[in-house]
Amino acid sequence: MTTWSLRRRPARTLGLLLLVVLGFLVLRSWLLQDPGMRLRTTYKGFTEAVDLYFDHLMSRVVPLQYKRGGPIIAVQVENEYGSYNKDPAYMPYVKKALEDRGIVELLLTSDNKDGLSKGIVQGVLATINLQSTHELQLLTTFLFNVQGTQPKMVMEYWTGWFDSWGGPHNILDSSEVLKTVSAIVDAGSSINLYMFHGGTNFGFMNGAMHFHDYKSDVTSYDYDAVLTEAGDYTAKYMKLRDFFGSISGIPLPPPPDLLPKMPYEPLTPVLYLSLWDALKYLGEPIKSEKPINMENLPVNGGNGQSFGYILYETSITSSGILSGHVHDRGQVFVNTVSIGFLDYKTTKIAVPLIQGYTVLRILVENRGRVNYGENIDDQRKGLIGNLYLNDSPLKNFRIYSLDMKKSFFQRFGLDKWSSLPETPTLPAFFLGSLSISSTPCDTFLKLEGWEKGVVFINGQNLGRYWNIGPQKTLYLPGPWLSSGINQVIVFEETMAGPALQFTETPHLGRNQYIK
């Protein structure tokens, strides 16, 4: 979090405005093993987890406070809780939990216009989140009426916005950013840019929103930020640099040189392993009369599975209508033939006429847990409840945990892979190598002709791709690469392309200006 405060303070404190943001508490998936769990409330199961977390975290934070000679001058109690507001006792509980563990610096809340009136806590400085000059009235009226002449701060000035799969690439014009930042400063407020530096949802770590519909975030969190996902300068950066330079009265040093980008030669996978062939290397599946959701699988020392995929298998002897609730997307197979998908909107699918012994399979993807919206308690992934064929519950499932961590791929030695056939059976893993003779540079991976899946570079999960966009390239940092041979594995669900391409320019999709 990058914060610029324009109030004068002693020179020795300049550059020490560091906020410890505890708003997005790390909501571990194992919390949802409790069927009655109520996240972000004073529900006993949740507060016990928060207390344990705070016991460990605050022992590290307390010595770093400004009054102890450290850099931390403020601690944020929660983040946009006013928009959630499920438990009026929750915010006072978190405030007390911090104070009881030795936090003595300024406490803050942070809310947007929809939750500002409900996110305030007695004795805690309220700050606001906004994107346009139209919302500045919150600074000059509401906060003044509530807090008088206390300092005003825009905790999150949104310099862009995030993208969801199937939507546009959201951008905010640089002139609009300069206009709003200037107005915030003129209003006598401190300001924090969210985001100053764009980021990446590497691995399976993207979030999602769920109000009327479930929408998962794309891999890129470039956010149309002041600095791009790869750290490159933007028109916003140049305009804001000139603006802050003009009011600081201090000559600014020249900005650092940009990191070079490299359009490496295209890579063609040479080896292949279908998911169905891979199953025999995963060990014995979990056997259960009924489906088990991802978080309650008896894996990882009893902590369940947090992310990735999960495969359910059972036997059927007739055709009919298959129905059930899937979080978040399930590809349905009869033996190894895909017959369609189940998701939030599609809860029924026709199973074609079959004869004799048949394996029904559902490959379910956890597309990311909701971190903003009304449904954060409803984020158990996989098959949720029974799966029905012609309204009769299916039984006797074999369940495979496909978390695709490094240890997952260590089971697939080179002797397990086959030469790539002309028509591969999907889903499948594709293996190739990228040869680099010089010092590795940042690049952007383009999967033209591929449909949906995940890419792994030297064992690191680069993130998801999906041809519905908007994102068309994946950012690949140079430090993830090495001189020599780099292993590249693609897990593709439905349609494999001919090659993987590399470009020096990102392509994040069709632009849509934020209004």
Q: Which helix (H) or strand (E) holds 184?
A: helix 174-186
Strand partners, 392: 389
Q: How much of the chain is helix, strand and coil, in % rounded to 5? A: 20, 35, 45
Q: Who's near 165: CB < 8 A, 6+ residues apart?
A: 215, 216, 217, 218, 367, 466, 468, 469
495: closest CA among 446, 428, 437, 445? 428
Q: Who's near 423: CB < 8 A, 6+ residues apart?
A: none
Quickly count: other Cβ atoms within 10 Å of residue 515's Cβ.
6
d(CA 229, CA 243): 23
pLDDT of residue 354: 78
d(CA 23, CA 82): 12
Q: Tell me how far CA of residue 99 lies from CA of 32, 77, 179, 304, in angstroms.
A: 28, 10, 38, 33
Let me know: does 483 contact 437? Beta carbons within 8 Å: yes
Burial 346-366 (b: 16+ CB within 10 A, else e): eeebebeeeeeeeebbbbbbb
Find the length of the chain.
Answer: 515
Active site residues: 80, 156
Pairing, β 169-171 against β 511-513:
parallel
Contacts 24+ apart (CB under 8 A), 476-482: 476/442, 476/443, 476/444, 476/445, 476/502, 477/230, 477/442, 478/259, 478/262, 478/439, 478/440, 478/441, 478/442, 478/443, 479/440, 481/434, 481/436, 481/440, 481/441, 481/443, 481/457, 482/436, 482/440, 482/458
pLDDT of residue 26: 54
pLDDT of residue 99: 97
Name residue, tokens 């990311």.
Answer: 368
Do 283-406 and 413-513 fold alike per CATH? yes
Q: What is the rounded (10 degree) CA torsion for 58, 62, 63, 68?
A: 180
Handedness of CA 385, 390, 396, 402 (dihedral sign): negative
d(CA 81, CA 231): 31
d(CA 160, CA 225): 6
The per-residue DSSP string of 458-471 comes to TTEEEEEEETTSS-
Domain locations along the chain: 2-158, 283-406, 413-513
Q: Who's near 241: CB < 8 A, 6+ residues apart?
A: 252, 255
d(CA 86, CA 206): 24
| H helices present in 302-420, as ranges | 406-409
Tens of pLDDT along 155-178? 999 999 999 999 999 999 999 999
First-to-final CA distance of the chain: 25
413-513 sits in which CATH class? mainly beta
Q: What is the pTM of this model?
A: 0.93
Pairing, β 153-158 against β 190-194:
parallel
Quickly count: other Cβ atoms within 10 Å of residue 202's Cβ.
18
pLDDT of residue 286: 98
Spell out, as residue ranges, where the chain has pLDDT lower than 50. 1-18, 20-25
How many degrees, rounded to 5, is the angle at CA 257 between CA 255 and CA 261?
140
pLDDT of residue 130: 95
Residue 321 dihedral angles phi and psi, to the nearest 5°: -105, 120
- As a CATH number, domain 2-158 is 3.20.20.80
Burial 142-181 (b: 16+ CB within 10 A, else e): bbeeeeeeeebbbbbbbbbbbbbbebbbbbbebebbbebb
- As a CATH number, domain 283-406 is 2.60.120.260
CA count, 13 A, side-chain hemisphere, 158 = 21
pLDDT of residue 69: 94
